[in-house]
Amino acid sequence: MASPIFGDKLADFHDIAYSSYSPDDVAKLLAANQTLPVSIASFKVQGAGSKTRSSFLRAQIDPLVNAPATRTLPELLKQLDATARRFKRFGTYSAAEFKLDLATVTPYKALLAAENESSSSPDFASDDNPLHEPYRGIKPLDLKATLILTQANPHPIHLKSVVRDNGPAAFSATAALKNLLGGAETLSIVASRETSPTASASYAAEFSAPLCIKSPDNRVHLSAFSTDNTAAYPSLAFATGARGASLKLVANSPCHPASFAEFGVATVQRTLSDLGSASETVKNTPAQSTKTSVYSRFAIDLRTSKPDSPLFVDGGYLLDWQTEAAGLGDASKISGDVAFLKTQAVAQASKSLDPENDHIVFSAAAGTGLLWSYARPGYAQSSTFYDRFFLGGPNGGISASSSSPPGVFLHAYTPSGLGPRDGADAIGGDAYAAGSVSVLLKLPRLTRGFAAEYLAPLRVLAYFTQASLIEGSTAPDRSVRSLYKSIFDSPTTSGGLGLIYRTSAAQLELIYSAPFVVPSSAEAAVRKGWQLGVGFDVDL
């Protein structure tokens, strides 16, 4: 009988099979050895790759080899399961499996006799034995283990393109080099461009490494980026630029990898140019501004999806809270000329009325943000264009350029077009609130039989959205309660209906959106009618 392989979810000891015995003997042997100790006599690693450091592998394997002599077979299986999961969480390997066999062939009757001796021995552990040992004086069962690793990242280059009928087309390329120094380090380089009217180009590089080689859940990230936009938004006809770097620590949840806590520090230099037709508000913004800030982010992401439609959420919830503080130090010693506290939160929840087939899935999403500028010597006395919130444009699916909270559908407005304006320019706001309720419907006749495999990712989308973005600096002494009262005094509402198709390789949206209630300040941002968006993802 072939040796077993234990992977992400190790079963229990009943699944072990040894090539040295017949199937009948295996079943009896497993039943008889629940309390006998086991030890790892030899350990082999396959598929680790030539770059992987031996010290990194030893840090993961040593707890298996150097275990107490009282370890039983079920306890070993739990350790193997935990080790396999830990290897995968490093991100360097897509799979980690263990193969077990006996190190030496022990006569079957001798093993049964050893088990009987341990259960009848006066030294056998009982509930009254504080040592909690399953036996005394019995030699552990020696096993040989083989760790089989499958390296991740078979396609280190990822290409993505997004094209919209009435917006910019975006193209991006991401190259990821994993296990760069042999200890689960990753170097990622991203280059992206958007066509007219935004005509932007951005480049970023990030190096990340485990904070401790024994734990995959805490990583350090060092990144640098550069962005240039000849027209930052469709409603803003001037050029912006940004150059910056950041250092952050990310702690992921071992049980829910999409949930994490993040802390970092960043410095960014921003520029404005080509202001010929810009509004007075934009022209009065400093042509150069430097921001040095500390930031944090906490995310709890317990959303779920089906294997055949992984890009459609069918249940669970998301909570995401971000905070950034700039200008905390002495302006003469710290590079920076803005001082503010900026915080925003996003919540999203989904519920399937048919959990088995997900024919109807309801979702609700909301986002809110506040920007407080505080007066400090050497810093700007009010919020600047660079740091304000911008709202509007598609999100929740494919988007070339979007500033809307996740799950909030603002297709009925131009990207970043909502909120305060100065002439034709959208100048951003200091506080916003936005929310959407939506429903995704399967098409029953098209998702059964022959067409099911191809049309399973197709959904009908219907949504209703309310949003508002205001300039809070006009009354800096007002309370948060009064500020939010102003937000909800004149919201804009909209709705939409359409089709969405999403797979890992292609995405398509065809949505008709229309505003219902539009304040005079938002009339210039309205975009009513059909919108088509197409996106492609390719791994090289």
Q: Which residue has the higher pLDDT, 29 or 164?
A: 164
DSSP, residue by residue, 351-410: EESSTTT-SEEEEEEEEEEEEEE---TTS-SS--TTTSB---B--SS--SS--SPTT--B
Residue-level pLDDT at 225: 96
Predicted confidence (pLDDT) at residue 134 exceeds the cutoff of 50? no
Predicted confidence (pLDDT) at residue 276 exceeds the cutoff of 50: yes
- pLDDT of 483: 78
Distances (CA, A) of 6 to 89, 101, 321: 17, 12, 38
User: Would you state the pLDDT for residue 2?
Assistant: 38
- Average confidence (pLDDT) over 226-249: 80
Q: What is the pLDDT of residues 349-364, one digit of tens each?
A: 999 998 887 889 999 9
Checking if the pLDDT of 499 tops 90, the result is: yes
Model confidence at 17: pLDDT above 80: no
Q: Give the pair of three-digit tokens for residue 368.
A: 């809110």
405 within 8 A of 469, measured Cβ to Cβ: no
- More reliable by pLDDT, 480 or 392: 392
Reply yes or no on whether the pLDDT at 99 is more than 80.
yes
Please give the single-letter amino acid code of residue 519. P
pLDDT of residue 351: 96
Residues 268 and 387: their CA atoms lie apart, in Å, by 11
pLDDT exceeds cutoff 90 at 489: no
Q: What is the pTM of this model?
A: 0.84
Laid out side by side, the sheet with 5-6 consists of 5-6, 93-102, 141-151, 38-46
pLDDT band at 445 (very low <50, low <70, confident <90, very high): low
CA 341 – CA 144 distance, rounded (Å): 57
Amino acid at 171: F
pLDDT band with cut points at 50, 70 and 90 for residue 474: very low
At residue 450, the pLDDT reads: 62
CA distance linking residue 209 with residue 217, whole number of Å:
10
Alpha-helix runs per DSSP H in 343-479:
452-455
pLDDT at res. 510: 94
- The pLDDT of residue 446: 63
Question: In the numeric block, which tokens belong to residue 480?
Answer: 């948060």
What's the pLDDT at 113?
A: 57
Preceding omega of 197 cis (within 30 degrees of 0)? yes
- The mean-pLDDT minimum among 112-116, 261-265, 440-444, 485-489 falls in 112-116
Q: Rg of the Cα trace of the chain?
A: 29
> If you average pLDDT over residues 36-54, what whole number do you get?
88
Arithmetic mean of pLDDT over the chain: 81
Instruction: Provide, rounded to the nearest whole percent, the portion of the chain with pLDDT above 90.
Output: 41
Fold assignment, 157-539: Porin (2.40.160)
Place of tokens 């250092």: 247
Does 478 or 303 have the greater pLDDT score? Answer: 303
Per-residue pLDDT reduced to its tens digit, 73-97: 888 888 988 999 999 999 999 999 9
Confidence grade of residue 105 (pLDDT, cut at 50, 70, 90): low
Residue 196: is its pLDDT beyond 70?
A: no
Cβ atoms of 461 and 438 within 8 Å: the answer is: yes
Average pLDDT over every residue of 459-477: 81
Q: What is residue 156's DSSP assignment?
A: -
Query: Is pLDDT at 253 greater than 50 in this prediction?
Result: yes
Report residue 191's pLDDT band, with 50, 70 and 90 as the boundaries: very high
How far is residue 376 from each of residues 308, 332, 400, measured CA to CA in Å? 54, 12, 37
Q: What is the pLDDT of residue 252?
A: 95
Q: pLDDT (tens digit, 9 = 90+) per residue, 317-327? A: 999 999 999 98
- 273 vs 223: which has the higher pLDDT: 223
What integer is the mean pLDDT of 194-202? 77
Check whether 15 has a pLDDT greater than 70: no
Helices (H) and strands (E) in the chain, counts: 7, 22
Q: Does residue 442 have a pLDDT over 80?
A: yes
- In this predicted structure, what is the pLDDT of residue 426? 82
Structure-model confidence comparison of residues 372 and 221, the more confident one: 221
132 burial (CB, 10 Å; 0-12 / 13-18 / 19+) is exposed
Q: Which of 327, 318, 455 is nearest to 382 (CA)?
A: 327
Q: Map out the domains of the chain as residue ranges.
A: 5-151, 157-539
- CB atoms < 10 A from the CB of 1, how many? 11
- Mean per-residue pLDDT, 246-250: 98
Pick the most confident of 65-79, 228-242, 388-402.
Answer: 65-79
Q: Where are the alpha helices (DSSP H) in 90-236?
A: 108-120
Q: Is the pLDDT of residue 401 over 80?
A: no
The whole-number pLDDT of residue 130 equals 34
User: What phi, psi does 419 have (nearest 5°)?
Assistant: 95, -170
pLDDT at 117 (0 to 100): 54
Distances from the Cα of 462 to the Cα of 439, 443, 517, angstroms:
5, 14, 18
In this prediction, residue 460 has a pLDDT band, given cuts at 50, 70 and 90, of very high
Q: Is the pLDDT of residue 397 over 60?
A: no
What CA–CA distance (Å, rounded) separates 486 from 501? 38
Q: How far apart are CA 32 and CA 146, in angstroms?
A: 24
- Position 417 scores a pLDDT of 83
Q: Please tell me which residue, 427 or 516, carries the higher pLDDT value.
A: 516
Is pLDDT of 451 > 60? yes
Q: Which residue has the higher pLDDT, 62 or 239?
A: 62
pLDDT above 70 (res 343): yes
Q: What percent of the chain has pLDDT over 70?
A: 79
Residue 139 or residue 20, greater confidence: 139
Measured distance CA(387)–CA(326) in Å, rounded: 10
